[in-house]
Structure 1
Amino acid sequence: MKLLLKLLRIFFIFLVPIVILGAVFENIYINMDNGAEKYSWISLIAIFIFMYVLYRNKYQFNGWDEGKGKEKLSKKISLTLIIISAILLSLPLIFSYLII
């Protein structure tokens, strides 16, 4: 039962923000009216990477699980993944201007 609750918690921690932020960024790309919506799937990868960093550094320590092996990501890895996420969020705009 604990495993099912833990999986359900992780599912909602990842799914809800990814769906909401994915819709927000897709609407931003559509409203720019420059063809960036064709590449909006890249923003979902960026949001997933960001949520992974957020989960590993914060959310895994909140809750009822007292399991072993809980460690934060190092600052260097966290910063690298956040920069990669930011670059991926800007790629649809860059692609829409470069590839017409």
Structure 2
Amino acid sequence: MSDSVHLTISEGKRKPPLKVHFILNGEMFWYSEGNKGVRGMKVMLSAILETVRVLVITVFLFILASLVVTAFFEDTTNINYQALIESNSYLFFLRCLQALGILGFIYILYRNKYQFSGWYKGKRMQRLSKRTTRVLFSISLVCTLALYLVVWFMVSVNQL
């Protein structure tokens, strides 16, 4: 059986009482100032659902983009991608840079499109500015293509 603490503070005739309810084992926390407690729980639930949705979208798009990028790399260079990364350790850094570029594209896509179709409806939801989108897109493109540029240069110089 869990211990609970109840606290009721009345702030005058016009305001409803402030109610706080804790269950000490961490199972429940409740704050109510009139109807704000219910609204706060809805906001918390929608934020949790939005976080899960963002994680699912990110994982799905990251896996999809990684598969496409790997297939494109192997088709254009005729080199086994995994063997190349294992034999040249510095290319692992470029692979991580490529992953950051893909995450940059996913971030741009989420902020400009997917955030408006979710459960969370916040006051600060807005698209990225055109300039910010262009800068992030350029940085993500350079990060994504850096591995290809280095490998294609190495292939042309016959160092692989």
Q: TM-score scaled to structure 2, two decimals?
A: 0.55
The answer for the alignment partner of 2:133 in structure 1 is 78
**1:1-100 counterparts in 2 under 5 A?**
1-31=45-75, 32-34=77-79, 38=85, 39-99=94-154, 100=159
% identical equivalent positions = 25
1:29, 1:40 within 8 Å by CA — same for their partners in 2? no
1:46, 1:89 within 8 Å by CA — same for their partners in 2? yes
Q: Larger Cα Rg: Structure 1 or Structure 2?
A: 2
- Greater shift, 56-65 or 35-44, is seen at 35-44
Paired residues, number: 100
Which runs of no fewer than 5 residues in structure 1 stay unpaired?
Answer: none
In the aligned structure 2, how far is the partner of 1:11 from the partner of 1:61?
16
In the aligned structure 1, how far is the partner of 2:118 from the partner of 2:149?
40
In the aligned structure 1, how far is the partner of 2:97 from the partner of 2:80?
14
More strand by share: 2
More helix by share: 1
Shift of 1:3: 2.9
In the aligned structure 2, how far is the partner of 1:30 from the partner of 1:41?
18
In the aligned structure 2, how far is the partner of 1:2 from the partner of 1:85?
30
| Higher relative contact order (Cα pairs below 8 Å, separated by 6+ residues) | 1
Which runs of no fewer than 5 residues in structure 2 stay unpaired?
Answer: 1-44, 86-93
Shift of 1:20: 0.9
Opposite residue 100 of structure 2, the aligned amino acid is I
